């Protein structure tokens, strides 16, 4: 399972920031963090798929190692989705603040 990003859309194009405020480094840091997080989750998912294929073909006879790889991928995906949910809630909370 491969997760592909949306090309041409970054944090700065979705949330344009005033350069004089100095918050673009925060947005760039958040964008970098999420990009790395998605990349790591994708790597674990690919490792899980490979472990399942090796078990199915008989290359690997260790069921427990395959199950550990599958659970790592599952937990990392759940973690990533919760981080996304919390970031979205924080953004919505900031948008509700009166100016």
- Sequence-distant (6+) residues with CB within 8 A of 34 are 83, 84, 87
CA distance 11 to 29: 10
Task: Please tell me the pTM assigned to this model.
Answer: 0.67
pLDDT per position as a tens digit, 49-87: 999 999 999 998 889 999 999 999 999 999 999 999 999
- Phi and psi for 12 in degrees, rounded to 5? -70, -30
What element of type H or E holds 74?
helix 63-96
Q: What does the domain layout of the chain look like in residue ranges?
A: 24-96
8-28 per-position pLDDT tens digit: 545 454 445 455 555 677 778
8: helix, strand or coil: coil
Q: Max alpha carbon distance in the chain (Å)? A: 62
């Amino acid at each position: 399972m491969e997760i592909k990003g949306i090309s041409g859309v970054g944090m700065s194009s979705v949330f344009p920031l005033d350069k004089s405020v100095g918050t673009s480094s925060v947005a760039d840091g958040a964008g970098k963090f999420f990009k790395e997080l998605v990349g790591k989750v994708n790597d674990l998912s690919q490792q899980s798929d490979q472990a399942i294929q090796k078990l199915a073909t008989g290359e690997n006879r260790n069921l427990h190692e395959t199950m550990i790889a599958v659970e790592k991928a599952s937990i990392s995906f759940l973690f990533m989705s919760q981080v996304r949910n919390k970031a979205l809630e924080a953004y919505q909370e900031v948008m509700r603040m009166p100016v």
